[in-house]
Structure 1
Amino acid sequence: METKVNYAVVGAFVLLLATVLVAAALWLAAGGAIQKKYDIYLAIEEESVAGLNLNAPVKYNGVDVGKVRQIQLDPGNPERVNLLFAIERGTPIKEDTVAVLKTQGLTGIAYVELSGGADHAPLLQATADNEYPVIRTKPSLSTRLENVLTSVLAKLDASSSHLNDILSAENQAAFKNSLADIASVAHTLAARKESIDAGLVDAARLFAHASQASVKLEPALDRIGRAADAVEKMGNEVTRTSASAGKTINSVGSDVGRFTAETMPELERLLRELSVLSTSLRRLSEQIERDPSGLLFGHRPLPNGPGESSAGVSQP
């Protein structure tokens, strides 16, 4: 006995099941029961965004928080690229948040890395000039390396140019001449080595004798200094004596006054001579202290001035 199958019921069941599956797929694709909401942010890059594609991940300290929604050249400045990010609502995008382009390993697939966001910084808001909040950007690692390499190559080029200038034919010839002059001086010194050694020995001996002479002259200098002090003391005593004598003479009378008139000029002349003698002795002592060797070898004569002959007479 055959079982009767209702094909209409079977077909209806299949259509209903297919409809449920499609609806479930659409529901899951839309986020399921908890659908995520996104906020749009703008970032302006001033470097190449090669390798960055639509729906590329946007990460915040390594955590996926969104995707790249749009990549477009800036109509006002083709050297800049406008990037729109769809970032999950609630992500703490703050005014000090910075976007940087990075690549994943060896694949070269680019993505956007967000960093920064201090606790005290306010949340990033849109301004009157822009429809979306603008996230600041900074150069990527590849761009910084390229800038550094460019600077290094420029400095190497400049250094190479300077080195070429230093090693020019003229400088090489001058350097060779300098080496030849140095070699000539070295040969001359080597040839006169014995005379130079003898001169050094004589100079050392002369210095030793001068040192000994200066040691021997110290007692004489002390005696000269004491003699000068004694002469000065004697002059002071004579001055005081003459003053007291003047007072006595003034009290005696006219006869003694005449004697004073005749004697005082002699005393004054004597005092002046004693003062000159004291000054000369002090100058001699100071000169010997400055140049002890002058006492043994004499003082060097002063060179003739301009226009003076050896006899000290001006030439016409």
Structure 2
Amino acid sequence: METKVNYALIGAFVLGLGAVLIAILLWLASGGAWQKKYDTYLAVEDESVAGLNVDAPVKYNGVTVGKVQDIQLDTTNPQRVNLLFSIEHGTPVKQDTIVVLKTQGLTGIAYVELSGGSAASPMLVAQGDTPYPQIQTKPSLAARLENVLTSVLAKLDSTSNNINAILSPENQAAFRNALADIAVVTRTLAARKDSIDSGLADGATTLKNTAQASAKLSDLTDRVARAADSVNTMGTEVAKTSVSAGKTVDVIGSDVRHFSAETLPELERLLGELSTLSGSLRQLTDQTRRDPRGLIFGRTPVPVGPGETGEPR
């Protein structure tokens, strides 16, 4: 009796086993249980990324920590390129970490270099609506050299244009004329060398005399200054004297007015009385001279004349 073989079941078993073997191989090829976990980061470059390819290494201070996951041109701004990095989980990507494009050796193969990241800086996380944390970028050495060379070339071009403008035919003719004039002046100075030497000697003597005169003038200026100070002091004293004299005149004027108002009338009356007294003294002197006895016996009555009576009228 023949045994019946189920070919369909055998075929299904073989296919299943093959699929399991392929899955195991793929799993082992990808690292299996030791497969690393990666975090995705974004960087926006403002320069050309020529030479950089997908899967290019991402290094942190020279240590490979990931790879370039994607390279895309920014559709909103074609001057920028968006780079996505797959970086090993746990890599200390900080807020002050910088992305710089570098080339490896003479081959020109580009890779990404991460630098910076101080210990005090916090870890980099996604901000706002951005799905990935964005790492800051810095111009590469090639970009910096290109900027410097561009600036230098622009300056050289400007300098070349200025030199061409200076060396124009008109300026060249002017330079030739100026050189000719300088030659004429030089010959003239050489011909009159002796006169120039004599003039310089006279000038030195004149300067020496001027220096001496300046020294004397300085002494004279000091004396004039002292005299001016003396005159100023004398003027101040005269001003003070004038003020005192003015006060004295005011006092004298007040006394004169007082004398005129009160003393003069009394003086006039006294002078009148003195005049009367003088007259009386003169009469007494005359009588005494005529009749000295009158001082002792009194006045002798005058005898009655003929036809007069002794009765008073």
Give the TM interval when normalised to the shorter protein.
Answer: 0.5 to 0.7
Q: Secondary structure at the match of 2:161?
A: helix
- The answer as to 2:154 corresponding to 1:154 is yes
Quote the residue 2:136 is aligned against. Answer: 136
Quote the residue 1:41 is aligned against. Answer: 41
Distance 1:77 1:15, change over 3 A: closer
Quote the residue 1:273 is aligned against. Answer: none
Quote the residue 1:103 is aligned against. Answer: 103
User: How far apart are 1:153 and its partner, in Å?
Assistant: 0.3
* Residue type at the aligned position of 2:138: K
- The answer as to 2:69 corresponding to 1:69 is yes
Q: CA RMSD in A?
A: 3.6
User: How far apart are 1:85 and its partner, in Å?
Assistant: 0.7
* Residue type at the aligned position of 2:177: N
Q: Secondary structure at the match of 1:106?
A: coil
- Whole-angstrom distance in 2 between the partners of 1:106 and 1:201: 73
User: How far apart are 1:199 and its partner, in Å?
Assistant: 3.4
Cα deviation, 1:265-288, whole Å, max 9, x if unaligned, reads xxxxxxxxxxxxxxxxxxxxxxxx
- Whole-angstrom distance in 2 between the partners of 1:95 and 1:41: 12
* Residue type at the aligned position of 1:25: L
User: How far apart are 1:18 and its partner, in Å?
Assistant: 8.3
Cα deviation, 1:280-304, whole Å, max 9, x if unaligned, reads xxxxxxxxxxxxxxxxxxxxxxxxx
- Whole-angstrom distance in 2 between the partners of 1:214 and 1:68: 86
Cα deviation, 1:163-185, whole Å, max 9, x if unaligned, reads 11111122222222221121111
Distance 1:173 1:20, change over 3 A: same
Identity of aligned residues (%): 67
Cα deviation, 1:222-268, whole Å, max 9, x if unaligned, reads 9xx8xxx9xx9xxx9xxxxxxxxxxxxxxxxxxxxxxxxxxxxxxxx
User: How far apart are 1:208 and its partner, in Å?
Assistant: 6.7
Quote the residue 2:192 is aligned against. Answer: 192
Quote the residue 2:115 is aligned against. Answer: 115
- Whole-angstrom distance in 2 between the partners of 1:26 and 1:45: 35
* Residue type at the aligned position of 2:79: E
- Whole-angstrom distance in 1 between the partners of 2:49 and 2:125: 25
Please give the TM-score of this superposition, normalised by the length of structure 1.
0.58
- Whole-angstrom distance in 2 between the partners of 1:86 and 1:32: 18
Please give the TM-score of this superposition, normalised by the length of structure 2.
0.59
Larger Rg: 2
- Whole-angstrom distance in 2 between the partners of 1:116 and 1:102: 15
Could you tell me which runs of 5 or more consecutive residues in structure 1 were left unpaired when the two chains were aligned.
1-13, 237-316
- Whole-angstrom distance in 2 between the partners of 1:214 and 1:129: 86
- Whole-angstrom distance in 2 between the partners of 1:213 and 1:76: 85
Quote the residue 2:55 is aligned against. Answer: 55
User: How far apart are 1:198 and its partner, in Å?
Assistant: 3.2
Quote the residue 1:90 is aligned against. Answer: 90
User: How far apart are 1:106 and its partner, in Å?
Assistant: 1.1
User: How far apart are 1:48 and its partner, in Å?
Assistant: 1.3
* Residue type at the aligned position of 2:113: E
- Whole-angstrom distance in 1 between the partners of 2:180 and 2:48: 59
Q: Secondary structure at the match of 1:119?
A: coil
User: How far apart are 1:205 and its partner, in Å?
Assistant: 5.6
Cα deviation, 1:32-56, whole Å, max 9, x if unaligned, reads 3322111111111111111111111
Distance 1:68 1:191, change over 3 A: same
* Residue type at the aligned position of 1:36: K
